[in-house]
Amino acid sequence: MSADPHCIFCKIVAGQIPAKKAYEDDELLVFHDIHPWAPVHVLVIPKAHIASHADVGPEQAPMLGRMLALAPQLMRELGVTNGFRTVINTGRDGGQEVQHLHMHVMGGPRPWAKG
Ligand code: AMP
Ligand code: ZN
């Protein structure tokens, strides 16, 4: 599986830096955002290094589908009962800060810090 030795999320996948994990399988990892915008805020990432959504092609459609399909189950398990928000920031103008594809999933009672 491809990894970038300088990528912070690849280091989380490799267990080189700690994260509070919420879900893991062969292809995906979910962990809590270190600076949450909402009472529940997790990041869903592919374990393989893909820099951004802009780098995704048709061959990644099943993986992206799995990322989206995981969100309802995750939110239920984390006690979110009243809806949630999914966000993928892409590239500089998209406000992406970490260059490893990730989907934010946020829920819990409002008001939230952002968005
Ligand atoms: P984005 O702006 O979409 O690239 O979001 C990157 C997110 O990663 C931000 O919400 C950060 O708080 C989060 N983040 C950065 N480093 C870590 C880390 N070591 N563990 C958990 N979340 C992180
Ligand atoms: Zn990476």
Quote the number of domains for the chain: 1
Residues with CB under 6 A from ligand 1: 8, 19, 31, 33-35, 43, 89, 95-98
CA of 107 to the centre of ligand 2 (A): 25
Q: How many CB atoms lie within 10 A of CB 10?
A: 20
Task: Lay out the sheet containing 103-107: strands in order across.
Answer: 21-24, 28-32, 40-46, 103-107, 84-87
104 is catalytic: no
pLDDT digits (tens, 9 = 90+) for 64-105: 999 999 999 999 999 999 999 999 999 999 999 999 999 999
**Which atom of ligand 1 is nearest the CA belonging to 95?**
2
| CA separation for the pair 42, 22 (Å, rounded) | 8
CA of 109 to the centre of ligand 2 (A): 31
In a domain, 1, yes or no: no
In a domain, 19, yes or no: yes
CATH at residue 52: 3.30.428.10
Structural domain for 51, as ranges: 8-107
Alpha-carbon torsion angle 99, 100, 101, 107, nearest 10 = -90
Band of residue 114 on the pLDDT scale cut at 50, 70, 90 = confident
